[in-house]
Structure 1
């Protein structure tokens, strides 16, 4: 495998290394910092990096075969934030006492989720990943550009890597409340990784992060949620949009450079926003990851049991799979994710 030349389009996902953020090609008609490099009709973004070769190599992470589900129950949270609909489950009798169906009514953003490429666009240009616009999603002639079903058809499987930042912070007298705007900068992530025995540099620079890895960051939201009473959970979730606060990754240039240059296939966390919230400057990580780079974002993942197992093993990498909903035109999906140790 070779290094990818920035201006040699479309890029080959099988290459061993790729251009840094500062060396991205300038694409006609695209916003600055756009990495729409996998072909004009591409719908997968960084998921292109999950090639058969990389998936096969990632299977070497499986040692015991133990499986850990990374989705919260569909009924969690009891009250979703951002005024999202509460999950509803109903059982429908077919033949009383003998046969039953059930029905779900859900907002795919109300619990453990993937943010698809239709979820957030680039604010300045109103362009979504690879140049899609809102007219592709809604209106008189919608189509399937940036639909979540492309992820489902391709599949998501590869090497996961967990940064248990919440445990690191608690262990180093840096306690914080995950329901506050606690920004996790790159230096803090690096300190967490060092504590876990991980070198956060890309493998091409001598570090431990491989092209196509799936990054999981534990910021403590799920643990804190479990400690609150139903009344406290409701009060926290129903704060006004201006008052909603969650811990997550910072938006500093160093974080953006690192997230881009590692060429992660996807990122996910346990908080409802992945990045620190709110975003007063309107410079969301979401628009960089989703709209500009085509990197899926997972939110409200259940990383509790996984964190315990990783600490016990002293090993923070594992094989993982996810099966998004095969919904043509879909914006997002519950993750349906599993780590296999």
Structure 2
């Protein structure tokens, strides 16, 4: 039986195959990789990840906490940190350290998997809505809750599919902070076109679009003690309610959408009408089009270099952790110019 007989309006379900789990990453073809490699001219590299213990605390999201590191233990509860093996065998002089981390996968610089956001949608066409995700994968059958027989996790659409695809391609930087500063602003289609035209930026099919707002740089400047009010009321975020902006995302064929802010789009969004998605741009990208979202990346140093050198394009290498069943992952992306 097919997973769906009706797909959401404006979606691309099935266009990359009935069992596709990587969405618009399919558009990053070998030719696109060669075009990305052609952007490497000086060989300089930029780490685009925040330290994974930032922003600090849990003021941005009360459900997410910074990672905690601790040592593994030997027999007798002896921690493997500066552990001299001569304690076990006098002939051994080696000293070892070994640790374990408890990590919230979407605390800091991150990727959203296509299992991150779904919707109650009548995919069977019988007038009854089911919980479904990109390409019709279903809650219970493919995306499991803790009370399911198979336990919690994404049997389909997990972040490991993105990792196995090899996330590498041409990045395109759009400097929203340079155009609008650090005051809070919902950026719609007209604003975005203004920046693209002023900065002579062209987005082509398969490109990995990065939005620089200065938000992550503010987090760096706060040095682990984030100011909740300032962060929640500063910098640009996309207006997920703007239909022309959503159409632009569809029509460009961009493969990935990345920002240095909290959610790429404004959160909370503007009030909608009718069937009102909680995060409309997440719905459009993750649920309908299979576009992975990158959030809280540290883009400012790279953006400054690109501006100084009159460039907007670069080679981007950004695989997530190959962690089966995860719905998100820390990101440690590298840009090469």
Structure 2-normalised TM-score? 0.81
The correspondence for 1:285, drawn from 281, 284, 287, is: 281
Tell me which protein shows more strand as a share of its residues: 2
Q: Does 1:137 align with 2:133?
A: no
Shift in CA distance, 101/244, structure 1 to aligned 2, threshold 3 Å: farther
Answering whether residue 233 of structure 2 is matched by residue 248 of structure 1, we say no
Q: CA deviation at 1:79?
A: 2.0
Q: What displacement does 1:244 show?
A: 8.2
1:318 to 314, 317, 327: 314
Deviation for aligned residue 1:122? 2.7
Give the match for residue 34 of structure 2: 56
In the TM superposition, what is the alpha-carbon distance from 1:168 to its structure 2 partner? Answer: 1.6
**Displacement after TM superposition at 1:309 (Å):** 0.4
Is the contact made by 2:316 and 2:336 (CA closer than 8 Å) also made in structure 1?
Answer: yes
- Match of residue 9 from structure 1: none
Match runs of 1:161-200 below 5 Å = 161-170=172-181, 176-177=183-184, 182-198=185-201
Number of the residue aligned with 2:107: 110
Preserved contact between residue 176 and residue 236 of structure 2 (Cα < 8 Å): no
> Unmatched 5+ residue regions in structure 1?
1-26, 199-207, 238-242
Match of 1:96 in 2: 83
- Post-superposition shift, 1:144? 2.0
Assess if the C-alpha contact under 8 Å between 2:27 and 2:206 holds in 1: yes
Separation in 1, partners of 2:225, 2:204 = 43
**Alpha-carbon deviations, 1:275-308, whole Å to 9, x = none?**
0110243431101100100000000000011111
- The answer on whether the counterparts of 2:215 and 2:234 sit within 8 Å (CA) in structure 1 is no
* Structure 2 gap ranges (5+): 73-78, 85-94, 122-128
Alignment partner, residue 331 of structure 1? 327
Shift of 1:231: 5.1
Larger Rg: 2
Aligned CA RMSD, in angstroms, stands at 2.2
Preserved CA contact (<8 Å) 1:244 1:278: no
- Supply the distance in 2 between the matched residues of 1:305 and 1:245 (Cα, whole angstroms): 19
Q: Deviations over 1:222-269 (max 9, x none)?
A: 1332444755535667xxxxx888741012011001011101110000
1:14 is matched with none
Query: Does the 8 Å CA contact 1:246/1:277 hold for their aligned counterparts?
Result: no
Q: How many pairs are equivalent?
A: 293
**Structure 1's 229 and 155: CA in aligned 2 closer, same or farther, altered over 3 A?**
closer
Task: Tell me which residue corresponds to 2:75.
Answer: none
1:171-218 Cα shifts (integer Å, max 9, x gaps): xxxx514xxxx21011111111222222xxxxxxxxx22110000001
Deviations 1:68-88, CA, capped at 9 Å, x for gaps: 011100111102422112221
Question: Structure 1-normalised TM-score?
Answer: 0.80
Deviations 1:25-60 (A, max 9, x none): xx8322222211111111110011112221122210
Q: 1:141 deviation in Å?
A: 4.1
Measured in 1, the distance between the counterparts of 2:320 and 2:48 equals 13
Secondary structure, aligned partner of 1:222: helix
**Could you say what secondary structure the match of 1:162 adopts?**
strand
3-state SS in 1 of match to 2:132 = coil
